[in-house]
Amino acid sequence: MIEPIVDIFKDKIETLLFAEKVAGIVKTAPVQISDGENRTFLKRFPVECQTTIEDCKTGRYKDLIPNNAYQSIIYFEDNGISLVSVNGTSFRFRANTTLVGWLNLAKLGQTSCSISAAIIATLIKNLPQNHQNLPPVYQNIVWNITNILPKSAAIFSRYSYSEEVNQYLLYPFDYFALSMSIEFSVNSNCIEDFLPSDGINCIKH
């Protein structure tokens, strides 16, 4: 539900010079990984919304894994939506999301131990303007950063990263996570009933 709203910030982040690999809301994809000895293991990775099973088979599940080839990776995690209030036909919601960022200091031309504070400050500066609308459904959108999470491997605990990947959480790499709250209103008078696209035959019984 919040994907179109989050994409407002995603599109803004993509214009920033330090941002190389940027995704909107990710989903956790279960992928069967072979160890080369006829054994398979179920692993979990962050993937972009439109990533299919076939994409995963070709290795697309690796796109958002910390990797020395990138200067940065940034994506959002969906932590659920709650209904805040109802006023006639207007419904007010609050969405909670986590913005996760991974940084390659060398490729960003930095030698200091950490640059996450400067990156976070830049993201705060570029937060989308509050009280904007996203026609035809979303109205009065308000963005807030509610917490800067402790810098620990727990940020990536949703995923099955190997020891090889974990090395990218140590210098010369950096990372961070921001808890974000996004409030928005939906007016039922502005919502049209969903209709399948042309070419799909639906028979109501």
Q: For the whole prediction, is pTM greater than 0.95?
A: no
What residue spans define the domains of the chain? 3-188
Contact at 8 Å (CB) between 74 and 119?
Answer: no
Contact at 8 Å (CB) between 182 and 99?
Answer: no
Q: What is the pLDDT of residue 34?
A: 73
- Strands, E assignment, the chain: 21-34, 40-48, 72-87, 90-104, 132-134, 138-148, 173-187
Q: How far apart are CA 80 and CA 201, in angstroms?
A: 33
Q: What are the pLDDT digits (tens) for 120-178?
A: 999 999 999 899 999 888 999 999 999 999 999 899 999 988 877 888 889 999 999 99
Q: What are the pLDDT digits (tens) for 160-171?
A: 888 778 888 899
Contact at 8 Å (CB) between 47 and 63?
Answer: yes
For residue 24, name the pLDDT band (cuts at 50, 70, 90).
very high
Residue 74 bridge partners (DSSP): 22, 101
Q: What is the pLDDT of residue 205?
A: 41
Position 150, amino acid: P
Contact at 8 Å (CB) between 98 and 180?
Answer: yes
Q: How far apart are CA 86 and CA 2, in angstroms?
A: 18
What SS3 class is residue 4?
helix
Per-residue tokens: 7: 């994409």
Q: What are the pLDDT digits (tens) for 47-106?
A: 887 776 676 666 677 889 999 999 999 999 999 999 999 999 899 999 999 999 999 999
Alpha carbon distances (Å) from 82 to 2, 93, 124: 12, 6, 24
Q: How far apart are CA 161 and CA 166, in angstroms?
A: 7
Q: What is the 3-state secondary structure (H, E, C) of 97-135?
A: EEEEEEEECCCCCCCCCCCHHHHHHHHHHCCCCCCEEEC
Q: What is the pLDDT of residue 56?
A: 66
Number of alpha carbons in the 13 Å side-chain half-sphere of residue 137: 10
Contact at 8 Å (CB) between 6 and 24?
Answer: yes
Alpha carbon distances (Å) from 27 to 37, 158, 194: 29, 10, 23
